[in-house]
Every structure is written in structure tokens, then in C-alpha cells.
């Protein structure tokens, strides 16, 4: 089974943590300011969002895009044993501090889980399994240990494995090297980007209609408002729900099965 399925956000098992723990500022993504630890004005007493169906229309685009990789329910149900911050206000500070740390761990688990699905990276399996187990062990620690975690050294172990996985998968396609490239608003419609290295590339508002992005490495790529109408992203590397949510697509856009087609994509 694809382990990424265990890292899908389940808001019904969370306590609206992302709607409380995280801060945001008035911008194109949010109509108001919110301090960390302050509940969003739209958070209902049952921890649901009062405007979930119209977040974008109400100006809360940032909320519509956000995905926690399942970190919210992990913190709520495991780290804190199912006790909410409303039931026990004394745990709120520790609970809110745990969410961003857990999200980073779950993001690494997501990428490692994907890497383990690629036959081309089979030679890396022992190292990938070891890194996955080590990351999972960190995610199982208590709130105090989570707060004290120094993640950069662990990330320094994980990142080279993901890069090597990318190289092995993309070697079959010899795609263009555009890592970190400024492609804001770029006209890339119908482009053959199979096997391209687009790590960290700025693809904001790029025209990627009918582009072939199979086996393209998209880790960290900024796809905000990118037009993916008709684009093929099946088999693309390290694509996340947040990236898909931030882009524009249509009924012809192909995405990996593990991701959910955003509701705002044109019907």
C-alpha cells in the first residue's frame, strides 16, 4: 500500500489546529490578520470551518490551499491523546507548538513514502526505509521532545536521498534542468517537460496548459495560479496537495491518484 494514504489530512479527527495555531496577515490570501494561538473567526464550536464551501470567495485563499499532510490529526489524537485545547486550555501552547514541527515531519514522510514507490530507486530502498523509520520515530515522540527537535540535521539526511531518487527516475527522460528557475508567467503551454528538474522553480501564473510533466521533479515548486489545464502530471515527482490546490486546472488535467482534484478547478 502507498504509505502516503496514511498522511492524508482528516479534519474530522483534528481540533481545528491549523485554524488556531498558525498566524496569517491581511494579503491576497487572507482578508484579515490573525495571531498564532488565536482562533480564526470562522472556526465553529465543533472545530469545523463555518465558510469551508466559500473560502476562496470570502478571501481566505490561503486556508483553501493549506494541507497539513495529516499532522493535525496526529497531534490531536496521538501526541495529546484526543484531548482538545478547548477541553484543557493548559495544553494549548504545547499543542499549537507541536503542529508546525509535526507538519514538517509528515512532509518528509510523504516524500520518502513516494520515493519508495519508484522502481527506478529500488537500490536506495534500504536507506529510504531507514530514513522513513527514523522520521516516524521522531513523529511518535511526546510534545516536549517535539518542541526540542532540531530538524535541519535530520533533513540533511533525508534530502540527499530524495535528490538521488529524483536523479534515478528522471534519468530515463533527460528532461531540462530548471532547478530554482524564475519561470513566473512563463509561456510553457504544450511543453515537453518530462523528467525536468523543476525543484524550487517559480512557476507562479505560468502557462502550463497541455504540458507534459510526467516524471518532472516538482518538490518545492511554486505553482500558485499556474494554469495546468490539460497538463499531464501523472508520475510527477514529489507533487503535494498544497501545490495542486494553489494551481488552476480543468477536467483534462491529470494528477497522481493519491491526490484529490481541487473543487475550484473548472468543471
| Structure confidence by residue, pLDDT tens digits, 82-93 | 999 999 999 999
210-266 per-position pLDDT tens digit: 999 999 999 999 999 999 999 999 999 999 999 999 999 999 999 999 999 999 996
State pTM to two decimals. Answer: 0.95
Return left, alpha or beta for 200; rule: phi > 0 is left, psi -120 to 50 is alpha, else beta: left
d(CA 218, CA 196): 9
DSSP state of 141: S
Q: Is the pLDDT of residue 151 over 60?
A: yes
Query: Minimal CA–CA distance to 256: which of 39, 238, 266?
Result: 238
Share of the chain above pLDDT 90, in %: 96
- Interval 160-186: pLDDT, tens: 999 999 999 999 898 999 999 999 999
CA distances in angstroms from 220 to 120, 144, 202, listed in the order given: 22, 29, 9
Task: Output the pLDDT for position 267.
Answer: 57
Query: Which residues make beta-bridge pairs with 217?
Result: 197, 237
Name, in order, each residue with C-beta under 8 angstroms of 78's C-beta and a sequence gap of 6 or more.
Answer: 140
User: What is the rounded CA–CA span in Å between residue 197 and residue 195?
Assistant: 7
pLDDT > 60? residue 23: yes
Distances (CA, A) of 132 to 8, 20, 117, 128, 187: 17, 29, 13, 6, 38
Amino acid at each position: 500500500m502507498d504509505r502516503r494514504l496514511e498522511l492524508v489530512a482528516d479534519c474530522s479527527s483534528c481540533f481545528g489546529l491549523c485554524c488556531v495555531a498558525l498566524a496569517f496577515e491581511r494579503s491576497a490570501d487572507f482578508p484579515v490578520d490573525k495571531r498564532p494561538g488565536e482562533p480564526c473567526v470562522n472556526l465553529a464550536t465543533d472545530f469545523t470551518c463555518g465558510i469551508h464551501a466559500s473560502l476562496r470567495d470570502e478571501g481566505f485563499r490561503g486556508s483553501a490551499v493549506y494541507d497539513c499532510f495529516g499532522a493535525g490529526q496526529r497531534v490531536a489524537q496521538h501526541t495529546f491523546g484526543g484531548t482538545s485545547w478547548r477541553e484543557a486550555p493548559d495544553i494549548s501552547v504545547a499543542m499549537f507548538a507541536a503542529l508546525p514541527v509535526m507538519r514538517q515531519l509528515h512532509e518528509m514522510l510523504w516524500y520518502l513514502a513516494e520515493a519508495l514507490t519508484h522502481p527506478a530507486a529500488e537500490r536506495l530502498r534500504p536507506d529510504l526505509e531507514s530514513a522513513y523509520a527514523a522520521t516516524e520515530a521522531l513523529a511518535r515522540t511526546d510534545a516536549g521532545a517535539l518542541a526540542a527537535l532540531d530538524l535541519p540535521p535530520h533533513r540533511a539526511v533525508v534530502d540527499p536521498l530524495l535528490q538521488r531518487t529524483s536523479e534515478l527516475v528522471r534519468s530515463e527522460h533527460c528532461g531540462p534542468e530548471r532547478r530554482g528557475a524564475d519561470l513566473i508567467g512563463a509561456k510553457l503551454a504544450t511543453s515537453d517537460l518530462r523528467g525536468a528538474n523543476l525543484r524550487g522553480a517559480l512557476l507562479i501564473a505560468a502557462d502550463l496548459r497541455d504540458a507534459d510533466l510526467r516524471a518532472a521533479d516538482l518538490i518545492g515548486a511554486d505553482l500558485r495560479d499556474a494554469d495546468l489545464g490539460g497538463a499531464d502530471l501523472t508520475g510527477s515527482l514529489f507533487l503535494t496537495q498544497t501545490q495542486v490546490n494553489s494551481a488552476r486546472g480543468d477536467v483534462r488535467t491529470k494528477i497522481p491518484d493519491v491526490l484529490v482534484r481541487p473543487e475550484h478547478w473548472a468543471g
